[in-house]
Chains A and B, each alone.
Chain A
């Protein structure tokens, strides 16, 4: 308890609190306090961003940032910033800021905003907690809080559909949470507190325990696989698309699914150690599950007419690239998987923002209604195009970089079948995104849109709705074009890989 309270020991905690405190205050606000709520939201997001910039710089220089609270003897809540956590924290923080702007615009005039933004901040706090978790106990705690805090957002609209989607979401994530808990406690009972250490901690375990370690990995994988939407645990994700667009964007493209994928990366690299995991044969299991999910998600996406549903299945498929990268032994594949954590996030959030704009401005919810939307909403469609081409893997957009490194890593590791998966997935991605782009740009627009709102705005839609996708689309381009620049996601992923494979 009597640790030296230096700023390095406080920073991870402060980053967590910068969204938790505004969230708690927002609950208490009156419904009509728009201004105060906006100020609290934005202040929290901006303070968090500033703190994270400090953290990036500190971790880059090799500093140790750790907030440790002893819950009870032997049970520590640890927030520890290493290179991997910084990557995820930065992603969530930047996208939280953008999504907050979007959400304020999107939810204007809709009821229960205090509740919405309160839980929204809670979700971001939980995500940051997952990113910064320094041991397995802390990870489990924030992982479950994320489940809880997301439920009200999925159920937010209160329609029977929303209630049903929320129920399905809860059933999956609760069951997954329990599996994760069993795995975590089991591991704890074998090894003592499980701290995340770059390079893993289990390689020295006696051989007699190896069967148990394999069983534990399976429990952890099921628990994490639910949120990461690994097939056959993905069923909740398409159902949760009933949530409002900002929720789909941030939570189901970034926070929740990434929490699962990030957890898989953590378990493989920082608990088992990638060499040890490969030795136990665990990487093969992971690789096969990821590959099946990639192909399955893409095939399902082909036949979806609902735009958000198609994006959701695309998420199912794309998030598994991260797990695929983790399942290939070798630093280059690691870079490809880890960098996709960021790249998929910015690309998918762009697509979801755009889908929200079409729905909000024109009432367009389905792919079949998208004829000519490019002429009515050129800027939104431009952002959508960038995101979609990135997903397919067209250079110079971010997605290309991920696929390139994944392919290169697989070839280097001698896992040539992965190239086939990547090729198949690219074709399928093109198969479900290019028709949308074609319809949007080259078909004639209909005489009237399903439900058009004319905003009092100089732009094609409300400013708060237009800027976020443009910003994130720009990020997709920058991340791809300037991939070799210092502090780009790719450079940071390289730093992570270097540290994970350090002797």
Chain B
């Protein structure tokens, strides 16, 4: 039962996608049921990993390598937990958001398909299945992003699709080279066999480049802002909070697991330097953005940059508790951003709906008339800045410590500049909420839509900031006292 349940987080949303396609009239109802079950199965699986060891199973009655291998360890379970909770929040929000609109009909199957692929990426145990799941993710994401049907949205997502395809092609070529050299695609087998060679190095470069394109790592981020900013709010939330994380998860997995023997300080430094570029450029563009959702999209570019800053630190840090702390902090950062950015986009969507636009300079009245939504933006924003008590504050604290301990103090300048820029762009939005417009009468104006955004934002701050311990436990770093 325990190992069989590994397949549920993939099978349930897939089933949901099929049912919502077949029965469009009750799609929202079916969608929410499927979302709830998916989330529960994901959380249950996380609980299993927490309680015991890593799980794995091979499907289809075939042995490896033909069978589809599914596995869950601490890293995948952490991200699975994130996708479960964030996905549930997005689903509940979407019911209200799409009520009375045809677009909802297409939203539910595509969204559940995207969720299937996402969980598939987190759970797949071999490189080829990862490719299939990545492609499925890219396809459903591009289709969802174009849901509004507006010219900008379709054009941006067509580009997103092509970029995604290019990324997966590059990844797939890397996989082919790996198979040529080692004759297997199973991650755990490969990590034992792999050793430094020109072929292995080429495949690292190909796979990393392809995934970096999908993760929107600067300067390959150009496709992200228009695609994320023009999608409907629940889709933006899913794209920014979850989909880019899938590609990042894979890079992290490959670098720390599969290719741990052959990555070098220089290569890690390049990733870090690109991350630094992302932080500075993304934050700067977010500060200059005129629209709220574009701001949020550029903020994603910057936040992805922080995640890549961990690579040079991880590379330089010798194995031990300090490196475990860094790794956990990296995961914490990714998960916190997932919650915070989803909360931010959902709230931004409400503001946009209420005001009829999302031009930041004219948002005063709308922001002030919706205290709960503005509060969500503030909470999520403080997590994006990295202010305490958010999870990203804890992550930054550990990251800065790692920079001191490994003597790579130059990253501190980037982190500090990025933090100040983030504060500037977040408070540029928040300052609109303190105008002299009429006072709202109560805190929550539209519970079904506002509460998911608020809860997601609150989790990124209170839950992940004050109780980050479970991430350490999930990753098997419990009892480490430094």
Contact = CB atoms under 8 A, between A and B. Distances in A.
Let me know if chains A and B touch directly in the complex, using CB atoms closer than 8 Å: yes
B388 A74 contact: no
Contacts of A151: 427, 430
A74 B480 contact: yes
B482 A73 contact: yes
A189 B435 CA distance: 43
A151 to B, nearest CB: 7
Contacts of A137: 397
Contacts of B442: 28-31
Interface in A142-181: 142, 144-145, 147-148, 151-152, 155-159, 162-163, 166-167, 170, 174-175, 177-178, 181
Interface in A63-111: 69-75, 77, 111
Interface centre among B328, B430, B434, B438 (most CB of A within 10 A): B434
B439 A27 contact: no
B405 A189 contact: yes
B180 interface: no
Nearest to B405: A189
Interface in A37-69: 69
A73 B477 contact: yes
A156 B401 contact: no
Given A73-B477, A148-B387, A178 B416 contact: yes
B401 A188 contact: yes
B440 A31 contact: yes
A112 B436 CA distance: 10
Interface stretch (B57-65, B133-141, B461-469): B461-469
Nearest to B400: A185
Contacts of B325: 72-74
Contacts of A170: 423, 427
Interface string B458-482: 0000000111110110000111111
Nearest to B465: A71
Nearest to B416: A178
A70 B434 contact: no
A163 B431 contact: yes
A72 B328 contact: yes
A69 B480 contact: no
B434 A77 contact: no
Interface string B415-442: 0100110010001001100111111111
A158 B412 contact: no
Contacts of B174: none
A141 B390 CA distance: 9
Nearest to B404: A189
A108 to B, nearest CB: 14
B394 interface: yes
Contacts of B420: 174-175, 178
A182 interface: yes
Contacts of A188: 397, 401
A29 B468 contact: no
A291 interface: no
Contacts of B182: none
Give the interface size class of chain B.
35 or more
Given A73-B325, A73-B469, A73-B472, A185 B404 contact: yes
B400 A181 contact: yes
A3 to B, nearest CB: 14
Contact of B441 (A32, A148, A158): A32
Given A156-B434, A174-B420, A185-B404, A74 B482 contact: yes
Contacts of A31: 439-442
Given A144-B388, A167-B431, A185-B401, A71 B466 contact: yes
Contacts of B89: none
B480 A152 contact: no
A71 B419 contact: no
A77 B467 CA distance: 10
Contacts of A476: none
B469 A72 contact: yes
Nearest to B471: A72
A378 to B, nearest CB: 36
A71 B443 contact: no
Contacts of A473: none
Contacts of A166: 431, 434
Nearest to A33: B442
Interface in A275-308: none
A182 B397 contact: no
B41 interface: no
Contacts of A72: 325, 328, 332, 394, 468-469, 471-472
Interface centre among A73, A114, A141 (most CB of B within 10 A): A73
B481 A140 contact: no
B107 interface: no
B371 interface: yes
A140 B388 contact: yes
Contact of B389 (A27, A73, A145, A174): A145
B388 A115 contact: no
Contacts of A30: 441-442
Nearest to B387: A144
A185 B416 contact: no
Interface centre among B401, B405, B444, B478 (most CB of A within 10 A): B401
Contacts of A75: 394, 397-398, 468
A148 B378 CA distance: 10
A365 B420 CA distance: 35
A155 B428 CA distance: 13
B160 interface: no
Contacts of A69: 466
Contact of A114 (B394, B435, B443): B443
B345 interface: no
Contacts of A28: 442-444
19 contacts: A27-B371, A28-B444, A70-B469, A72-B328, A72-B332, A72-B469, A73-B321, A73-B479, A74-B480, A74-B482, A75-B394, A114-B371, A144-B388, A144-B393, A167-B431, A178-B416, A178-B419, A178-B420, A189-B401
**The 7 residue pairs across chains A and B that have the minimum distance between CB atoms:** A189-B404, A141-B388, A111-B439, A155-B434, A74-B482, A185-B400, A72-B468
Given A29-B442, A111-B438, A156-B434, 18 more contacts: A31-B439, A71-B465, A71-B467, A73-B482, A74-B325, A74-B480, A112-B439, A114-B443, A115-B371, A141-B393, A155-B431, A158-B434, A162-B434, A178-B420, A181-B400, A182-B400, A182-B416, A185-B404
Interface of A: 27-32, 69-75, 77, 111-112, 114-115, 137, 140-142, 144-145, 147-148, 151-152, 155-159, 162-163, 166-167, 170, 174-175, 177-178, 181-182, 185-186, 188-190, 192
